[in-house]
């Protein structure tokens, strides 16, 4: 294989991790100077900050006025768990999975909650389940964007408006980068450390009126941990969705989220964020189209994520290696990029096929991705040469 000279230009920001993701362009610690520290989060000032985060979220994402938005513990995982433990069991459940996090929700529903009337629809990494098989007389649990597979649902057309069950959607790597049809979604969850590059710890839980009705009309048979409780005296605990929180939040993390929301507004709100992610994805897509050694893990263009872009190495000589050797090759490639300081944390997720995972959300600059792709070619050529020498 012809050797490639090391590229002259490096990305200004080599942070292409899929979570936590890159901070917004220009971020410094000074962005947190107005954090509400050393005071109770339940004081007037603390609750005002939390309520501002909720209101800004509603405005930028276009969440309907009659939907409730709450800040909850334990990131997106905590938000999803709250919904599963509080709402499931009233009717049958379809759980959809095409990557590791969706598979995690299958485990929770089937093995932890042990619901008997459960159907699991699963697809391999790179594919999407047959959405036509979903039964909407039942509750439906799914991820909008598979962070570890780079596979997303193409739209919300597959969800009927007159569904009988609830749709519970893990949207953590989709919110702020893909438009969510809230009229088709009853529960939506995400975390601050994904698309807006916020600090970790807290999750967002968005509930439709139908979800609230379920909470107020159905009591699960199992004990409910305190941090999952959203109902008090048979009614929704409205304070959770007005700026109060179940446990103590980090006001530093809250301030960082507010900073991210302000930046989102400055680049055009949701439309601007989606446009940035799409433009970033196009850089990788155009490069893949002219590069013989790499391809998308997601087989169909319509289901490819514009945020967590997952790639596999399709070079014949590398594919001829054992799975363990292919994984070692991909790991060596990403380690070389890390050592050069041009790309951090872009290895495939541990449960996914060996390859690359490059975050293309709105906080990443298009110019950095344009400077990254020559380095990817250089790293591959360098590792391929080392492979031949070792043979």
Q: How far apart are the first and last CA of the chain?
A: 14
Q: What is this structure's pTM?
A: 0.97
CATH 3.90.1150.10 location in the chain: 269-390
Task: List, for residues 213-237, the tens digit of each pLDDT value.
Answer: 999 999 999 999 999 999 999 999 9
Confirm or reject CATH 3.40.190.10 for domain 269-390, answering yes or no: no
Helix (H, G, I), strand (E, B) or coil at 296: strand
Q: Average pLDDT in the 148-172 region?
A: 98
Q: In the block, which residue shows the tokens 């509750």?
A: 139
Task: List, for residues 191-213, the tens digit of each pLDDT value.
Answer: 999 999 999 989 999 999 999 99
Round the average pLDDT of the chain to a whole number and report it.
97
Whole-number Å distance between alpha carbons of 78 and 190: 10
Whole-number Å distance between alpha carbons of 304 and 296: 8
The strand pair at 68-73 and 93-97 is best described as unpaired
Position 300 pLDDT exceeds 90: yes
Whole-number Å distance between alpha carbons of 353 and 356: 9
Position 286 pLDDT exceeds 90: yes
Instruction: Select the CATH number that applies to the domain covering 30-264 from these four: 3.40.640.10, 3.40.50.2000, 3.40.50.1820, 3.30.479.30.
Output: 3.40.640.10
**pLDDT score at 2:** 66
Whole-number Å distance between alpha carbons of 175 and 55: 15
The strand pair at 93-97 and 118-122 is best described as parallel
Whole-number Å distance between alpha carbons of 345 and 311: 14
Let me know how long the chain is.
Answer: 391
CATH 3.40.640.10 location in the chain: 30-264
């Amino acid at each position: 294989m012809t050797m490639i000279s090391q590229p002259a230009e490096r990305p200004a920001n080599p942070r292409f991790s899929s979570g936590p993701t890159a901070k917004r362009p220009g971020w410094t610690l000074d962005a947190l100077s107005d954090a509400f520290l050393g005071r109770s989060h339940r004081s007037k000032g603390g609750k005002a900050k939390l309520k501002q985060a909720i209101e800004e979220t509603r405005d930028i994402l276009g969440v309907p006025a009659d939907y409730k938005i709450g800040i909850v513990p334990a990131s997106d995982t905590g938000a999803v768990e709250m919904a599963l433990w509080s709402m499931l069991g009233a009717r049958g459940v379809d759980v959809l999975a095409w990557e590791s996090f969706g598979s995690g929700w299958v485990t929770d529903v089937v093995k932890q909650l042990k619901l008997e009337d459960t159907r699991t629809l699963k697809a391999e990494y790179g594919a999407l389940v047959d959405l036509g098989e979903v039964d909407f007389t039942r509750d439906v649990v799914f991820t909008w964007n598979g962070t570890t597979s780079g596979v997303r649902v193409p739209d919300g057309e597959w969800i009927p408006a007159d569904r009988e069950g609830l749709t519970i959607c893990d949207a953590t790597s989709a919110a702020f980068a893909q438009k969510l049809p809230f009229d088709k979604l009853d529960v939506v969850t995400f975390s601050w450390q994904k698309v807006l590059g916020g600090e970790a710890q807290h999750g967002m839980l968005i509930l439709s009126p139908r979800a609230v009705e379920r909470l107020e009309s159905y009591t699960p048979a199992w004990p409910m941990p305190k941090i999952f409780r959203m109902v008090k005296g048979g009614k929704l605990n409205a304070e959770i969705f007005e700026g109060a929180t179940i446990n103590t939040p980090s006001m530093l993390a809250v301030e960082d989220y507010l900073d991210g929301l302000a930046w989102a507004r400055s680049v055009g709100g949701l439309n601007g964020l989606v446009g940035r992610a799409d433009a970033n994805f196009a850089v990788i897509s155009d490069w893949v189209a002219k590069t013989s050694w790499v391809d998308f893990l997601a087989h169909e263009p319509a289901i490819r994520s514009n945020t967590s872009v997952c790639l596999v190495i399709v070079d014949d000589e590398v594919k001829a290696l054992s799975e363990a050797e292919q994984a070692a090759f991909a790991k060596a490639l990403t380690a070389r990029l890390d050592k050069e300081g041009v790309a951090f944390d872009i290895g495939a997720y541990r449960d996914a096929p060996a390859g690359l995972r490059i975050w293309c959300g709105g906080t990443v600059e298009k110019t950095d991705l344009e400077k990254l792709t020559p380095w990817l070619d250089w790293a591959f050529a360098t590792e391929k040469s080392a492979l031949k020498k070792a043979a």
